[in-house]
Amino acid sequence: MSRAQLLERITDQSNRANPYPLYEELRETPATLQDNGSYLVGRYYDVAALLHDPRISSDLHNRRAGMPGADRADNGGPAFIRMDPPEHDRLRRLTTRQFGPPHMPGRVDSMRGELADLVSALVDNLAGKDRIDLVDDFAYPFPVSVICRLLGVPREEEPRFHVWADALVASIEPTRDSDSDSKMKAAQQAQLEMGTFMAGLIEERRGNPGDDMLSGLAADHHEGGLDTLELVTNSIMLFIAGHETTVNLITNGMLTLLRNPDELERLKRHPELMPLAVEELLRFEPPVHLIPQRTPIVDIEIGGVTVPKGSPIVLALASANRDPDRFTDPDRFIPDRADNQHLGLGSGIHSCFGAPLARLEGQMALNELIRRLPNPRLVKDPPPYRPNPVLRGPRHLMVDCG
């Protein structure tokens, strides 16, 4: 089959359980023109360089128009993940002020106790069950509860956010299929409903602030602060990004450990190795496989291949993370791998905003699960996967215990 159909094959549901042979084929060329007009890139050094290249735009409008300075009107609003400097830098800088150092250095660390309580309670609920679904029973409710509490979303509203998140995530795909239009309409409706809810919550926080991140963002007037549209759009983005990747990190992590029982037992004996193991899981089975939203604003060259200005570029992070030119024995899971500068959380100005929290959630969740689950065994391997090829992870992960 032609390399021009690699993206179509990678995103095909039938290859979701194991796309890695296709990534190996992808790395045979530096940049591969696809039938849909995009260029697919999967070598580590090429992907890493493009993530830091100022000639590569992340702006949704540049993708549509193929050039900078296009019409700024967009139903998606100004989420900084889809913007270039200087707009990106301002929005990310203002948002970071309420999340991490230097202004809120203890925000994540102060949540350790609450995270431990959440993890412990969820595992308590698994006690006595012979069969569990690690996605529905643990990996989803944990990070959703965390991001809702971080932002200040009332706990009783969490189920509504689940429905909205599913609709929004389903529309994030690098290729179109027969369901694309219906997915886009569902996503637009979810964004409208979620935006209306968040706008009301923001106004409430402005009048009655708490100690949550949304209250801090609404009250911060540094550099003029964020207006309501910016607050709504970026809070939605933070909610989606703040739990979807962590769900996959935990689920892919447990799947990998259950497939490698000797390493699971080793980590059970030595929980202090879990920080290194999480980094290896981010490399070996990353929660985000593809970045389908990059566009060169000038003609560029990738390994001798000229990519014309305005051509969509799809970056295969999961392929880069298995590149033998960068990683020794890349297809082997090595929990204490020393040299592990992976791209599992991105790199450059759009590197994962919530990486410190995601790492902490992954470490605490996996340590507690392997410590307390009695003799866990996979029911089905491979498990059923979610349809989305960008945020790749099992939809269910059934495990027998005892």
Q: Evaluate whether 391 touches 288 at the Cβ level (below 8 Å).
A: yes
Question: Quick check: 79 pLDDT over 90?
Answer: no
Residue 377 reports pLDDT greater than 80: yes
- Predicted confidence (pLDDT) per residue in 142-180, tens digit: 999 999 889 999 888 888 887 888 788 777 767 666 677
Total count of domains within the chain:
1
pLDDT given at position 173: 67
What the block records as the tokens of 65 is: 């128009």
- Closest to 290 measured CA to CA, from 233, 333, 236, 343: 343
CATH number for 102? 1.10.630.10
* DSSP category for residue 386: P
pLDDT at 187: 85
Mean pLDDT of 64-87: 59
CB-based contact 294:315 (threshold 8 Å): yes
- Rounded-to-integer distance, Cα 312 and Cα 39, Å: 6
Asked if residue 334 has pLDDT above 90, the reply is yes
Please say if the pLDDT value at position 257 is more than 90: yes
Mean pLDDT of 342-361: 94
* pLDDT for position 362: 97
| Cβ-based neighbours of 264, under 8 Å, separated by 6 or more | 257, 258, 370
When the pLDDT of each residue in the chain is averaged and rounded to a whole number, the result is: 90
Question: What distance in Å separates the CA atoms of residue 235 and residue 213, rounded to the nearest whole number?
Answer: 10
Q: Is the pLDDT of residue 134 over 90?
A: yes
Strand 39-41 relative to strand 313-316, pairing: parallel
Residue 240 pLDDT level (bands cut at 50, 70, 90)? confident
Q: What is the DSSP letter of 135?
A: I
Q: State mean pLDDT over 230-237.
A: 91
pLDDT average, residue stretch 359-372: 97
Exposure string (b/e) for 82-111, b if CB count within 10 Å is 16 or more?
Answer: bbbeeebebbbebbebbbbeeeeeebbeeb
Instruction: Report pLDDT for 66.
Output: 39
Beta bridge partners of 294: 313
**Could you list the residue range(s) of the whole structural domain that residue 16 is in?**
3-400
| Beta-strand relationship, 56-57 and 131-133 | unpaired
Angle at alpha carbon of residue 361, lines to 360 and 363, rounded to 5°:
65
Query: From CA 36, how far away is CA 27, in angstroms rounded?
Result: 19
pLDDT confidence band for 361 (50 / 70 / 90): very high
